[in-house]
Each structure stands twice: as structure tokens, then as C-alpha cells.
Amino acid sequence: MISIRNISIKFNNEFILNDFSLDIPEKGAVCLFAPSGSGKTTILRLLCGLNQPTSGSVSGLEGKRLAVLFQENRLLPHLSALDNLKLVLSKERQAEAPVWLEKLGLGADAAKTPLQLSGGMNRRLAIARTLAYGGDIYLLDEPFQGLDEDTLRQTMKVVQDACKDSLLILVTHRREEAQALCDRIITLGQRPLQILSVEEIKK
Amino acid sequence: MKLSTTNANSKLTMIIAAAAWLVLWQLCYVWIGKPFLFPSPLQVLTRFAELAQTSLFWQSVAASLGKVLLAFTLALICGCLFAALAAAIPLVRSFLQPPISIIRSTPVASFTMLVLVWVPSKWLPVVVAFLMVLPMIYENVYKGILNTDPLLLEMGQVYGLSWWKKLRFLYLPAILPFFTSACVNGLGFAWKSGIAAEVLGLPKLAIGRQIHDAKIYVEIPDLFAWTVTIILLSMLLEKLLLKLTQQLNRRILLSKGGL
């Protein structure tokens, strides 16, 4: 169990999280659902250690490998699609990179750089990098933005398959994505974030 | 095709501009009418050719060039090292800031005189050129490090990239444009300050020494010929350095070494 206990985080004198607590199981798919701009990304940043709380604690992440997909693609513009994947993989696992590109429909674009790819393709490349890196916990922040209907369905399927034995924490403001991928939707209110409801999805 | 035409046009423009200045020089020479005070372009060229046949010329060029390049290399190494330390440890930045600011705003002549008290004249150009170029390299590389995309650095952190991969793929591409401009400006500055230090410090074999002697003995064509030598060497060094930095850019941005 991952336990977020009495966390407070403040930016520019405004509380994003104030005495916030949340328990997340070790397996399954959990969605943090909230309107955009509410600060839900802060929870992901807290989990991957990029934001330090002013008070409170997080436990249950010790020894866990985290695979993070940021809201922005954060790809290296001068490296090819294939090399962007290889960059985050150890030497022994680099052979897996083309497989992930293929899975995300980018097999033919392996040699292209992000500047030569469309917005949707870059998003899929960022997803491929996260899935290729792999982990015990996948933290995906608005993963499907900019994808058209067809690629959205295929990409969701790949994500679902890749994360089935791990914990997936999805942050989104789109309900249909949450319902399609997750078995629990935690709806959060406006700043400072509070849990409004927890909904179990039956599949 | 279009690019090569543009290149040819700009080369032609440069040749025409250079020819126009030579004509202007010749006109000044005729107007002044004192060949020993203001020689013609042909006189200077002839003197340059004569000097180029002497061993003193090549020994002086080699000595000055060697010292300037040594100073520049040392400034490059120390500048990059100090910039990396300053970016990593804010206290180092605060500690280095006062001397860097003082060095940057001190004239070459004052520095040369101060250094001359402590350093033998042979090594004066090295110390002066080093001190003049160090702040340039330091400030530029420091700016380049700060210019590294913080979003990519966070990506590197969460994906656990090794320090080598971070340096090679995140920091170096960001630092490179700053480093290149620092190198080109720094080499020109090293050259100028090194020669200025030679003129004041008068080491035995040096271009600066020859300039000083030419001035003392009122050998104005020699003075012009040595100045032409400095300009030509400076242009040559700049071209070589540009080629080198272009290759470095290509290697760092396009090669996959380290993946």
C-alpha cells in the first residue's frame, strides 16, 4: 500500500495540498480525476520525488521502480525516436527499444527526430519511452492528449497490457479515459486538493 | 545551388571591400607622401615577404602562438571547471564572483604591469592572456549550464540517467552554443592581450617584442608587416577554431556515442 499522509505543499503562498491523505493499493489502476489546473500533477510529482512536501509523509515507495510520463513529452530534440528510448534503457535492455516503437505504431519512424514527428507521434514516443523503461508503478500524467480517436484506442490497449501486473496511477481530466483504463476513480476538487469521491469501476 | 551562389556573392563582396580599403590605403600613402612614416601596401607586403624569410620571424611567431594557445587552453580547462563547480555549489559561485568581476574590468596594461612584478617576462603573455580569457569562458559556460532545460533535467532524474548520460545528452547540447561563442571571442582576446603583454614585458623572442623594436627604431614598414602578421594569424586561428567547434557540435549533437 502506498500511503500519502497529511501532506501539505505550498506554491506562491497558495496551498496545492493541505493536510492531504490518500491510500493507493500496490496493484491495479487508479485514476486521479480532477479538472485541469487543479494541481493534480503535484501528487504525481510528490510520488516521484520532484516535489518536497512542507509537512507530511509518503510511504510504500521504498525499493519501487517508477516509470513516469510527464504532461509534456520531454524528448531530446536532437536524438532519433529510437535513441530517445535507448537513452533511458540500460545496455542490456536496449534491444527492446524497437519493439516498443513498433507497439506504439512508430516502427517506421525510428530514425526520425521529434522535430520530424507530429504532435501525436511525439506523445506516443513519450509513452513508448515510459513503457519501455517499465516499473512497479506507472505514473501517467494526461497520457493521451493530442491523440486522434484511432491511435487513442490502440495506445490505451498497449498501456493497459504493459501495466497489467503493476500499479497504474493515471492523472486525467477526461472521464472516458479514466473509465476505460482504471478500476478506481478518485475525484478531486479544486485547490487545495481534496478527495470528493472514490468510485469503483466494474469491468 | 542557391546556397553556393550566395556564398560566391558574399566572397566577391568581401574581395571588393578589401580591394577598396587597399585603394584607400594607397591614396592615403600618396596624400601623406612620407613613405617612412606611412608605407604603401606594396612596401608592407615586400617587407612582410622579407621578414617571412628570416628565422627570427618564424621563431617569434612560434613562440607567441605557442604561449597564446597555452594560455587559451588553460583558460578553457579552468573556465569550464570553475563554471561546473559554480553551477553545482552556489558558495563557489559567490566565492569566484569578486575576482572574476575585478579581472573582467581591469585593463590589460594594468594587469601586465602588476603581473610583471611577480612573473618572468617570458611567461607574462601566458599569465595575462589566461587571466583575460578565463572570465569569458567561465561566464559563458556557466550561462550554458543554467540554460539547460529544467524539464529535461527532471526527466533525467526520474529515469535515473547516469551522470555521463546527463552530461552528454542534457547539459552539453545546451552549453555548446555558449561554449562556441566563448571560444571564438576568447581566442581573439587571448591573442590581442598576449601580444599587448609581450609589447610591455618584452620577452626575447616574441611578436610583441618585434613590434616594440620596430617602433623604437622607427621602422614603420616593419611595424605594419608585424601587424599584418598578427591579423593573418588571428584570422587563421579563428577559422581553425570555427572548424574545430563545428566538428565538436556535430559530434555532440549527432553522434550516438554513449548510448
Q: How would you write chain A as a 3-class SS string?
A: CEEEEEEEEEECCEEEEEEEEEEECCCEEEEEECCCCCCCHHHHHHHCCCCCCCEEEEECCCCCCEEEECCCCCCCCCCCHHHHHHHCCCHHHHHHHHHHHHHCCCHHHCCCCHHHCCHHHHHHHHHHHHHHHCCCEEEEECCCCCCCHHHHHHHHHHHHHHHCCCEEEEEECCHHHHHHHCCEEEEECCCCCCEEEEEECCC
Residues B65 and B86 occupy one common structural domain = yes
Q: Does any CB of chain B come closer than 8 Å to the CB of residue A88?
A: yes
pLDDT attached to residue B258: 63
Give residue A120's identity as a one-letter amino acid code.
G
DSSP string covering B218-231, please? Answer: T-HHHHHHHHHHHH
pLDDT attached to residue B144: 96
Residue B209, classified by CB atoms within 10 Å of its CB into exposed (0-12), middle (13-18) or buried (19+), is buried
Residues B140 and B241 occupy one common structural domain = yes
Question: Does residue B259 fall inside a structural domain?
Answer: no
Question: Does residue B11 fall inside a structural domain?
Answer: yes
Q: Where are the domains of chain A?
A: 27-51+61-186+193-200
Asked if the ipTM is above 0.85, the reply is: yes
Residues B240 and B189 occupy one common structural domain = yes
Mean pLDDT for A136-149 is 93
Residues B29 and B40 sit within 8 Å (Cβ to Cβ) = yes
User: Residue B128 maps to which CATH number?
Assistant: 1.10.3720.10
Q: Does any CB of chain B come closer than 8 Å to the CB of residue A78?
A: yes
Question: Does residue B136 fall inside a structural domain?
Answer: yes
pLDDT tens for chain B, 259 residues: list them: 555 667 778 889 999 999 999 999 999 999 998 888 899 999 999 999 999 999 999 999 999 999 999 999 999 999 999 999 999 999 999 999 999 999 888 888 888 888 888 888 889 999 999 999 999 999 999 999 999 999 999 999 999 999 999 999 999 999 999 999 999 999 999 999 999 999 988 888 899 999 999 999 888 999 999 999 999 999 999 999 999 988 888 887 776 666 7
Residues B102 and B52 occupy one common structural domain = yes
B135 vs B98: CA distance, rounded Å: 11
Residues B3 and B81 occupy one common structural domain = no
Residues B13 and B62 occupy one common structural domain = no
Question: Does residue B225 fall inside a structural domain?
Answer: yes
Mean pLDDT for A168-194 is 89
Give the closest of B154, B161, B256 to A83, CB-based: B256
Please answer yes or no on whether B154 and A70 come within 8 Å at the CB atom. Answer: yes
Query: Distance from A127 to chain B by nearest Cα, in Å?
Result: 13
pLDDT attached to residue B1: 52
Find chain A residues with C-beta within 8 A of B154's C-beta.
Answer: 50, 70, 74
Find chain B residues with C-beta within 8 A of A64's C-beta.
Answer: none
Residues B232 and B122 occupy one common structural domain = yes
Domain that holds residue B3: 1-33
Residue A69, classified by CB atoms within 10 Å of its CB into exposed (0-12), middle (13-18) or buried (19+), is buried
Residues B19 and B59 occupy one common structural domain = no
CATH number corresponding to A27-51+61-186+193-200: 3.40.50.300
pLDDT attached to residue B116: 86
Which of A41, A65, A74 to substitute to test the interface with B, most B CBs within 10 Å?
A: A74
Residues A187 and A159 sit within 8 Å (Cβ to Cβ) = no
pLDDT attached to residue A187: 92
Q: What is the pLDDT of residues A94-141, one digit of tens each?
A: 999 999 999 999 999 999 999 999 999 999 999 999 999 999 999 999
* Predicted confidence band of residue A202 (pLDDT cuts 50, 70, 90): confident
Domains: count for chain B: 2
Number of H helices, E strands in chain B: 11, 0
B25 vs B176: CA distance, rounded Å: 40
Mean pLDDT for A34-40 is 81
Residues B137 and B194 occupy one common structural domain = yes
Residues B101 and B9 occupy one common structural domain = no
B96 vs A168: CA distance, rounded Å: 47
Residues B165 and B212 occupy one common structural domain = yes
Residues B27 and B76 occupy one common structural domain = no
pLDDT attached to residue B102: 92
